Structures are given as C-alpha cells and as structure tokens.
Structure 1
Amino acid sequence: MERIHSLLTVSISEFKQNPGKVVEDAQGQSVAVLNHNRPAFYTVSPELMAQMAELYDGRQLESLVRSRLKSVDRAVEVSLDEL
C-alpha cells in the first residue's frame, strides 16, 4: 500500500491533456498525479512551492543554529575593536 500525500488526485493522462487547468482547478492545493493508480509525482502552485521552500529554509536554519549552540562553550569573546 502506498500513501498519497495530497487530497487531490488526477490521472497522468488527464494531467497531460491540460496541466495548467489541473493546477488552476486545485486552487492552491497540491495534486498527486497518478500512473496506474500510484503517485508518479506531485504538482503544486508557485505560491505553495514558495511556502514549502520557506519552511524548508527555516528548518535548515534551525538545524544550523542548534549545531552551533552545541559548541557555544568553545566560543571566544572578542570586542569590535579587536576585529
């Protein structure tokens, strides 16, 4: 059994006929494009892609901050004049 990560689905044949209409009809939601009733790929609007990219960037930044916080005990204090 395969999980589909979208509330909306469309067959790959229907998607190929008019991809723009599929995205428009989805009204900003993701669409799972199915091939033989299995997800082949997902399509999203530019707005949703931007939201996902922002979330991903936030998670990457959080990971970087957490790793740097682990080494804060090795930090050396300097003044701006020393730089």
Structure 2
Amino acid sequence: MERIHSVLSVSISEFKQNPSKVIEEANGEPVAVLNHNRPAFYTVSPEVMAQMAELYDEQQLAKHVQSRLKSVSRAVKVDLDDL
C-alpha cells in the first residue's frame, strides 16, 4: 500500500467531473487524486507550491554549501587589502 501525503483525497473520476469544486472544497489544502485507490497526482494551491519550491531551493543550496565546506581546509587566507 502506498502512503498518501495529504489528509484529503478524491477519486480521479470525481475529480474529472468537477475539478474546480474539488479545489474549492479543499480550502487550500493538498488533495490526493486517486486512480484505483492509489495516488495518481496531487493538487496544491499556488501558495503551497511556492512554499514547496522554496524548500526545494533551500535544500539544493544546503547541498551546495555542504560540498563547499568539504574543501574549506584547502582555502587560502587572503587579506582584503591585498586584493
């Protein structure tokens, strides 16, 4: 059984009948759209999508920082006045 990552869910048939109604009734909460009782996709509000995109960007930046920190021992100390 797959885990559903939302409190609300709806069948794909019901979603296809009236997607606007499903989104409106969700009041901004994510909705799992199920096909044969398995998540086919999720609908999220633009605000939730923006939050998820920001979290993803932060995660990617954190990975980049971690990789840079591994090479800090090879750093060369430079005085700003010498630049």
Give the TM-score normalised by structure 1: 0.87
**Percent sequence identity over aligned pairs:** 77
Length, aligned pairs only? 83
* 1:48 equivalent in alignment to 2:48: yes
User: Where do 5+ consecutive residues of structure 2 fail to align?
Assistant: none
What is the CA–CA distance in structure 1 between the aligned matches of 2:7 and 2:43, rounded to whole Å?
Answer: 12
What is the CA–CA distance in structure 2 between the aligned matches of 1:46 and 1:7, rounded to whole Å?
Answer: 18
- 1:7-42 per-residue CA deviation (whole Å, 9 max, x = no partner) reads 100010111122122122111111100111111111
* 1:3 equivalent in alignment to 2:10: no
What is the CA–CA distance in structure 1 between the aligned matches of 2:2 and 2:11, rounded to whole Å?
Answer: 16
User: Where do 5+ consecutive residues of structure 1 fail to align?
Assistant: none
SS of the residue corresponding to residue 28 of structure 2 reads coil
* 1:67 equivalent in alignment to 2:67: yes
What is the CA–CA distance in structure 2 between the aligned matches of 1:13 and 1:20, rounded to whole Å?
Answer: 13
Query: How far off its partner does 1:82 sit?
Result: 5.4
Q: Which moved more, 1:45-54 or 1:13-22?
A: 13-22
2:58 counterpart letter in structure 1: G
Give the TM-score normalised by structure 2: 0.87
